[in-house]
Amino acid sequence: MTQSTPILELVGVSKRFGAVEALKDVSIALEAGEVHALVGENGAGKSTLVRILAGVHRPDAGSLRLDGQELVLRGPASARDHGIAVIHQHPNLFPDLEVAENVFIRHLPRGRLGAVDWRELHRRAEKLFASLGVAQKVNVPVRGLSVADQQLVEIAKALSVEARVLVMDEPTAALSTHEVERLFAITRQLRDRGVAVLFVDHRMDEVFEIADRVSVLRDGSHVITATVSELTPEETIRHMVGRRVESLYPKEEASVGEIALEVRGLTRKGVFNDVSFTVRRGEIVGLSGLVGAGRSEIARVLFGIDRADAGEVSVLGKQAVIDSPADAMRLGIVYVPEDRHEHGLVLDFSIAANISLPIVRRLSRLLVMDRGRERDLATDYSKQLQVRSTSVSQRASGLSGGNQQKVVIAKWLATKPTVLLLDEPTQGVDIGAKAEVHRIISQLAVQGLAIVLISSELPELMGMADRVLVLHEGRVAAAFGRDELSQERIMAAATGHAET
């Protein structure tokens, strides 16, 4: 690869969202005719960087340079006008419109009187797909296409405007093996045409197969950029993980009791396969893995939101049938979901109303809620979990992220559960509140709850979990006891590089 002036450069770019510094002084250059992989843990700032290139966010500090010239993007349309095309993990197309129309939506070929020339449109689209070496019917609606084919439509769309920079945000996440191969072949072809491809990914095998150079982000900072020949997957993982302080994790010793939850051969087709584990009372079992590896999906099945295709679940030694969240709650399994706003809280309700929500029936006499009992109960739990609010009648929407999370946990504690499934409990929570949520989790374990902790933050798992299961593409790739845990080992297993 010969070096010239980079097509697109980020120079000292920083971006902050509230208290979170998503990107800190990041400088990365993309050359013409290279596939440049961008890797990092979940939350390292990859998505923010992609959104800046897409024109969705504007950097707080630093700048973009296109062909050495300062570039200010005023929105997604502006990015595209400058030849920067972004292909998101979930393609954003018009499902009812034809493939050809989607490709040329911004510049449909016109005939007489400005009427859309459908024949020319189809011809051009067919030519474009043919140049990619893909057989794709162009006069069918996009609604019927697989994610992989929709990505190709996005790629064709980018080529239709002669994009010079193509950003692909975790494009392989939803693809099958041979779809990935096809995508790679096309990516190489684009590279050979002189397009600069930024390939955001975190599967090491893929990165080292497709990329010419790799840039690593960690906690919003740029760690290193090197050619793939200068790095090994192991070194890359080490750069992704780094070394961090562990004072945030006040883990207390809990006495481990009987087996509370036992999962045997749990399978949901196409999502996860043959997953088995046990959680004892007082234990915290971590579930690690990349986004999409099947972590949350397992929790969703255990809570009865989705159904398993095979496998058995026992609670406190008794085989359990979980067909709905109501079943799960009856068995003492509760779930604190990843997205508090969407699934965890009713933001317009007061703290008390949120906490009493799952036990409304129990608090009712005849048809009427006992408001006094609701209030007392909510006050008790709020105190126990130290929810900072003016009173339990304050609306949940006015609380900070950390306090909202405490309310979600309180809501489930009120049902007196046996098993607590926590999905990214500290996501979007500031550092101080994080430590508090960790302390609460730890105390709940001491009180005898069996806890499953799903987290993308390795230090959190290392600090809190007694054992960690690492999932890779829907299978348990490795299991580590507390004393065997290291970030490198987890990351290697999660990226498909298990040592065993």
Partner 1 sequence: MSVRAVEAPASSNLAGRIGLERTLALAARLRELGILLALAVIVLVVTIQTPLFFTVANFEEILISVALIAIVAVGQTAVVLTRNVDLSVGSVVGLVAFVTGDLLKEHTLGVLAAILAGCVLGLGLGALNGLIITVGRVPAIVATLGTLNIYRGLAFLIAGGKQVSLIDLPKSYLDIASSSILGVPTLIFSAVVIAAIAAYLLRYSGTGRQLYAIGSNPAAAGVVGIPSQRLVFGAFVLCGVLAGVAGVLWGSRFGTVNASAASGLELQVIAAVVVGGVNIFGGSGTVVGAVLGAILLGTIQNALTISHLSQFWLQAIDGAVILLAVGTDAAIRNYFQRILTRTGRR
Please report how close the Cβ of residue 126 comes to partner 1 at its closest, in angstroms.
Answer: 14
Cβ-based nearer residue to partner 1, 269 or 362 = 269
With CB under 8 A as the contact rule, which of the stretches 43-51, 63-71, 133-141, 486-494 interacts with partner 1? 133-141
In angstroms, give the least distance from the CB of 291 to partner 1.
16
Q: How far is the CB of 133 from partner 1 (least distance, A)?
A: 3
Task: Identify which of residues 95 and 481 has a Cβ nearer to partner 1 in the complex.
Answer: 95
**Considering only 61-69, 109-117, 245-253, 382-390, which stretch makes contact with partner 1 by CB under 8 A?**
109-117
148 is an interface residue for partner 1 by CB under 8 A: yes
Least CB distance to partner 1 at residue 343 (A): 21
Site for partner 1 in 184-213 (CB under 8 A): 184-185, 188-189
Taking the C-alpha atoms of residue 185 and residue 209, their distance in angstroms, rounded to an integer, is: 11
Q: 135 vs 366, which CB is nearer to partner 1?
A: 135
The amino acid that residue 1 corresponds to is M
CB 138 within 8 A of CB 99: yes
Question: For the chain, what is the HEC assignment?
Answer: CCCCCCCEEEEEEEEEECCEEEEEEEEEEECCCCEEEEECCCCCCHHHHHHHHCCCCCCCEEEEEECCEEECCCCHHHHHHCCEEEECCCCCCCCCCEHHHHHCCCCCCECHHHCECHHHHHHHHHHHHHHCCCCCCCCCEHHHCCHHHHHHHHHHHHHHCCCCEEEEECCCCCCCHHHHHHHHHHHHHHHHCCCEEEEECCCHHHHHHHCCEEEEEECCEEEEEEEHHHCCHHHHHHHHHCCCCCCCCCCCCCCCCCEEEEEEEEEECCCEEEEEEEEECCCEEEEEECCCCCHHHHHHHHCCCCCCCEEEEEECCEEECCCCHHHHHHCCEEEECCCHHHHHCCCCCEHHHHHHHHHCCCCEECCEECHHHHHHHHHHHHHHCCCCCCCCCCEHHHCCHHHHHHHHHHHHHCCCCCEEEEECCCCCCCHHHHHHHHHHHHHHHHCCCEEEEECCCHHHHHHHCCEEEEEECCEEEEEEEHHHCCHHHHHHHHCCCCCC
Smallest distance, Å, CB 451 to partner 1? 31
Of the candidate residues 19, 61, 72, 140, the single one contacting partner 1 (CB under 8 A): 140
Binding mask 215-254 for partner 1 (x = CB under 8 A): ----------------------------------------
Q: Is 110 in the site for partner 1 (CB under 8 A)?
A: yes
| Least distance in angstroms from the C-beta of 121 to partner 1 | 10
Closer CB to partner 1, residue 178 or residue 318? 178
Question: 188 vs 362, which CB is nearer to partner 1?
Answer: 188
Smallest gap from Cβ 202 to partner 1, in A, equals 18
The dihedral region occupied by 67, where left means phi > 0, alpha psi between -120 and 50, and beta the remainder, is left
By beta-carbon proximity to partner 1, the closer residue of 181 and 230 is 181
**Near partner 1 by CB under 8 A: residue from 4, 18, 114, 390:** 114
Q: Does 133 bind partner 1 (CB under 8 A)?
A: yes
Residue of the chain from 63, 139, 232, 397 that contacts partner 1 (CB under 8 A): 139
Which of residues 5, 63, 92, 232 is near partner 1 by CB under 8 A? Answer: 92
Q: Quick check: 97 binds partner 1 (CB under 8 A)?
A: yes
Q: Does the footprint of partner 1 cover residue 106 (CB under 8 A)?
A: yes
Taking CB under 8 A as the criterion, the residue among 95, 194, 265, 398 binding partner 1 is: 95
CB-nearer residue toward partner 1: 95 or 257: 95
Q: Does position 141 bind partner 1 by CB under 8 A?
A: yes
Nearest by Cα to 47 from 176, 173, 177: 173
- Residue 13 has which token pair? 């770019």
Please, which of residues 166-185 interact with partner 1 by CB under 8 A?
175-179, 181-182, 184-185
* Min CB(108)–partner 1 separation in Å: 6
How many residues of this chain bind partner 1 (CB under 8 A)? 44
Q: At how many degrees (to 10) do helices 401-413 and 431-446 cross?
A: 20
Supply the minimum distance, in Å, between the C-beta of residue 190 and partner 1. Answer: 12
- Long-range own/partner contacts, residues 338-341 (CB < 8 A, 24 or more apart): 338/296, 338/423, 338/424, 338/427, 338/454, 340/401, 340/404, 340/405, 340/408
Q: Please list, residue by residue across 430-463, b when 16 or more beta carbons sit within 10 angstroms of its beta carbon and e when fewer do.
A: eeebbbbbbbbbbebbeebbbbbbbbbbbbbbbb
Residues 67-86 interacting with partner 1 (rule: CB under 8 A): 76-77
Binding segment for partner 1 among 144-152, 247-255, 361-369, 456-464 (CB under 8 A)?
Answer: 144-152
Report the residue number, 12 or 109, with the smaller CB distance to partner 1.
109
Work out which of 101, 201, 262, 466 binds partner 1, going by CB under 8 A. Answer: 101
- Applying CB under 8 A, the span of 15-23, 103-111, 449-457, 480-488 interacting with partner 1 comes to 103-111
Smaller CB separation from partner 1, 118 or 277: 118
Q: Which residues bind partner 1 (CB under 8 A)?
A: 76-77, 92-97, 101, 105-106, 108, 110, 114-116, 118, 132-135, 137, 139-141, 143-148, 175-179, 181-182, 184-185, 188-189, 269-270
